[in-house]
A = this chain, B = another copy of it.
Amino acid sequence: MSEKLYTVVEGGSITTPRGFTSGGLHCGLKKTDRNDLAAILCEVPATAAAVYTTNLFQAAPLKVSRESLGSGVLRAVVVNSGNANACTGEQGEADAYEMRAAAARHLGVSEDEVAVASTGVIGELLKMDRVRDGLAALPAKLSGDADGAEEFCQAILTTDLVKKECCVKVRIGDTEVLIAGAAKGSGMIHPNMATMLGFMTTDAVIGQEALQTLLRKATDTTFNMITVDGDTSTNDMLVSMASGLAGNEELDRRHADWEAFEAAFTHVCRHLAMAIARDGEGATHLIEVRVSGATDEAAARAIAKTIVGSSLVKSAIFGADANWGRIIAAVGRAGVPVTVDKVDISLGNIEVLRQSKPVVFDEAEALAYLQGDTTLITVNLADGEGSAIAWGCDLTYDYVRINAAYRT
């Protein structure tokens, strides 16, 4: 995970990798005049990979996208916000297919090269007249410059306050390869095999199987390690497209620069995942939980996610209260083995528990630390080599306000 293997491209976006254009517009699915329809188009057939929600009730667009992804090649992905097209029955499925067909026609590509994603309210039918008009107008909005990416990023947001994007470059042999991504949160976020909606572009030459394997592996330590509210969405999908226009020697696990590519690719995933956590509904703090010394990595992940998902821990951090008792209570209910008398806990650099015994700490110092916008909780279990990092956010009045009347 050395930063030296790759470089962050400041101001880079999903259209920075060669071959991609994107754009968005307002077609009328959101009540405000914010963008609600968008697409990414690749000028050549892109090697494509995706991961999807594990929620049993999968939204209609996921079925359609799975079909398109079957070939491992995509030219475009089309997304709407304001309506999840989930639990909408046969009509919803027909609408998702029509959305794919219309997008393909207007973009001049074939249907099975188009993935579809939706996000918003569950259980309402899409206003297809608006979607149809929007799709007809969309091709003219696509561009390869920063504006095109900005319009796309704005169009995929729902309760998000800020757009989430990231771009890095990495040297593969003598070739510079670009990797970028955009994502949205910010409620019903407890991904399990994928996140709410994420889109990654790269100009790397990479085989489909290698891309799919990498996407799944990177997701496990990034998107799958965040939670906002413990609720796994019906619409989670992360799609990655590789245009191959960088012209590097084809990447796979045996390539000399695979490690660098994997680190760069994972950086983009982690950046987006952390941005979703920080922009969780109502959040005022990003919470990062680092667990080490667990019996294995699975145990470390379970403990880290239990802590970062605890309503009591989240409320305490909103209140800047160094209530470490809630942290250890969360460790103890995570469902994995822990030696109960060897736990160390720190908040930032402030040690609060050593070998499971309270450490006297300076309350004023703790308060000052917890009033910052990022809270680091470090837990060492001294039981083994397992470690993991999870991200989440605090539980605030605004979370309740936002979700008490989301639909109405």
Contact = CB atoms under 8 A, between A and B. Distances in A.
Interface of A: 54-58, 84, 86-89, 121-124, 187-188, 190, 192, 229-234, 309-312, 315-316, 318-319, 321-326, 328-333, 337-338, 340, 353, 356-358, 363, 395-397, 399-408
A406 B340 contact: no
A312 B188 contact: yes
Closest 9 A/B residue pairs (Cβ): A122-B325, A319-B404, A315-B403, A57-B332, A56-B332, A232-B333, A55-B332, A229-B311, A319-B405
B55 A404 contact: no
Given A55-B329, A87-B358, A231-B311, 6 more contacts: A54-B333, A56-B331, A56-B332, A311-B399, A315-B402, A319-B405
Given A122-B328, A356-B87, A397-B397, A318 B404 contact: yes
Contacts of A312: 187-188, 229, 231, 403
A405 B323 CA distance: 9
26 contacts: A56-B332, A56-B340, A57-B328, A57-B329, A84-B325, A87-B356, A89-B358, A122-B323, A122-B326, A122-B328, A123-B325, A188-B326, A229-B312, A230-B230, A232-B329, A315-B400, A316-B406, A316-B407, A319-B406, A321-B405, A321-B407, A322-B407, A363-B408, A395-B403, A397-B397, A400-B400
